[in-house]
Amino acid sequence: MRKTLAGLLLLTVVLAAFLLTDGWYDFGKSASGARLERMMGSPNWRDGYFVNEFPLYNPFFSRPERWLDTSAHAKPAEPVAAARTEPSVFETDVPLRITWFGHSIALIEIEGIRFLTDPVWSERVSPYGWIGPARWYPPTIALDDLPRVDAVLISHDHYDHLDTKTIEALANRVEQFVVPLGVGAHLEYWGVRKEKIVEIDWWDAIDVRGVTVTGTPARHASGRTFFDFDKTLWMGFALRGSDRAVYFSGDTGLFPGLKEIGNRLGPFDVTMIEVGAYGADWPDWHIGPEQAVLAHNWVRGNLLLPVHWGLFDLARHAWTEPVERTLAAAAEAGYPVITPRPGSPINPDDPDCGERWWPEVPWQSAEIEPVVATGDFTREFQRDFASTPPGTTVETCLMANLD
């Protein structure tokens, strides 16, 4: 027995050493020096960490019986019908064009200035090349075929938003990387020159060739290891040119600050709000489809472009469920939704700028798996939903709380 235990201990130590060594570079770098001092001066920094105004409630570990309760359709059974992005389309400037590449990866062209959000061109979102969620289809365009990118925008440092190899490939091709406080340490470690990195706090605004980029509050978290939780900031971005404006939520749960974003920075021609990778057991980490429609209203959006779905398996729901539920909630609220095929550039001024390109697969409605954020500001909605007669939909209750 002692020999067996000793062997298991040795195996554990060897495996841990291998995982630590293999992922060390991708883990990134902790902030220090002047960078850390600036972080500590942020109003969002408290006792060594960045914090949310409304903490994240996560009962996931109290319900282990649901851990394996995963949809049989969590991954596509057939190849996803992504488009091939033709580089020639970018030779013509338009007032506003967005190319969504899946998940939170998009090229936003606003009045001739190009922004690339949360770029991930690697096969997996993981510190390891051999394990972790793998993409469902190859990138629809090679990085070398992208047009000139004026700035890369990083919402936070989770692996499905900050990819080492992609950053390395873009380091010498992009003149500016706009990131939340602390994230610049990762980029500098991976070879991005310090003068190219602009680290901002919530509500900080910078000018990128005539487009104002503002870091917007979000309700989320950060970290690339078990030892750096919330040591860097997370955010969304508001982009405003002379005539056009786009809001990109990054990852966020529902919180009242979305109304302030709309009041201070809206309205927006297009809102790119995350709708996927959610669950009733972790209602504050990601906003969920119905609350994404509510957030679209709060930030004063015109067209809603659902993001954070359609590329990686990161939750238990069916892979098409986020967009199906978003369309249902938006239809009840009377909001237009654009659903571009991944890799297909769309002009929001074109009334026919979306299509149903995904297959019909079974999915759960909001009544079966409601995602309702915690916090005092949701009590009215929770009370309304609890007191409604049978058959009343979550969408109906949410829409009743629209401003």
Bridge partners of residue 199, in order along the sequence: 179
- By the 8 A CB rule, do 402 and 333 touch? yes
Look at residue 192 in the predicted model and tell me its pLDDT.
98
Residues 6+ apart with CB under 8 A from 127: 22, 23, 26, 27, 159, 224
d(CA 55, CA 46): 13
- The helix (H) or strand (E) run that includes residue 238 is strand 236-240
Query: Which of 247, 326, 328, 246 shows the shortest CA–CA distance to 291?
Result: 326
- By the 8 A CB rule, do 340 and 82 touch? no
- By the 8 A CB rule, do 182 and 233 touch? yes
- By the 8 A CB rule, do 88 and 345 touch? no
Query: Structural domains in the chain?
Result: 26-364 (3.60.15.10)
Look at residue 369 in the predicted model and tell me its pLDDT.
87
First-residue to last-residue Cα distance in the chain: 66
SS3 234: coil
Residue 387 φ/ψ, nearest 5 degrees? -100, 0
List per-block mean pLDDT (blocks of 10 residues) for the chain, which spans 403 residues.
71 65 83 97 97 86 70 95 96 95 98 97 94 96 97 98 98 97 98 98 98 98 94 98 98 96 98 96 93 96 97 96 96 93 91 82 92 81 47 48 49
SS3 content of the chain, % helix, strand, coil (to 5): 30, 15, 55
d(CA 104, CA 250): 7
Q: What is the pTM of this model?
A: 0.92
Helices then strands, each counted (H, E), the chain: 9, 14
SS3 271: strand
Look at residue 69 in the predicted model and tell me its pLDDT.
80
Which DSSP category does 194 fall into? G
Q: CA 291, 180, 340, 210: dihedral to nearest 10 degrees?
A: 120
What pairing do the DSSP bridges indicate for beta strands 205-208 and 211-216?
Answer: antiparallel
Look at residue 52 in the predicted model and tell me its pLDDT.
96
Look at residue 387 in the predicted model and tell me its pLDDT.
43
Look at residue 391 in the predicted model and tell me its pLDDT.
41
Look at residue 386 in the predicted model and tell me its pLDDT.
43
Look at residue 4 in the predicted model and tell me its pLDDT.
75
What is the DSSP annotation of 56-108? PP--GGG-GGGTT---TTSS-SS---PPP--GGGGGS--SEEEEE-STT-EEE
d(CA 95, CA 147): 16
Q: Helix crossing, 257-265 with 289-298: angle to 10°?
A: 40
What pairing do the DSSP bridges indicate for beta strands 268-274 and 301-307?
Answer: parallel
Bridge partners of residue 245, in order along the sequence: 240
Name the strands in the sheet holding 197-200, side by side, starting at the edge strand that comes first in the sequence: 96-100, 106-110, 113-117, 151-153, 177-180, 197-200
Which DSSP category does 120 fall into? -
The HSE-up count of residue 355 (CA atoms within 13 Å, CB side) is 12
Q: CA 238, 241, 243, 248: dihedral to nearest 10 degrees?
A: -20
Per the document, the length of the chain is: 403
Bridge partners of residue 81, in order along the sequence: none
The HSE-up count of residue 197 (CA atoms within 13 Å, CB side) is 21
The HSE-up count of residue 124 (CA atoms within 13 Å, CB side) is 10
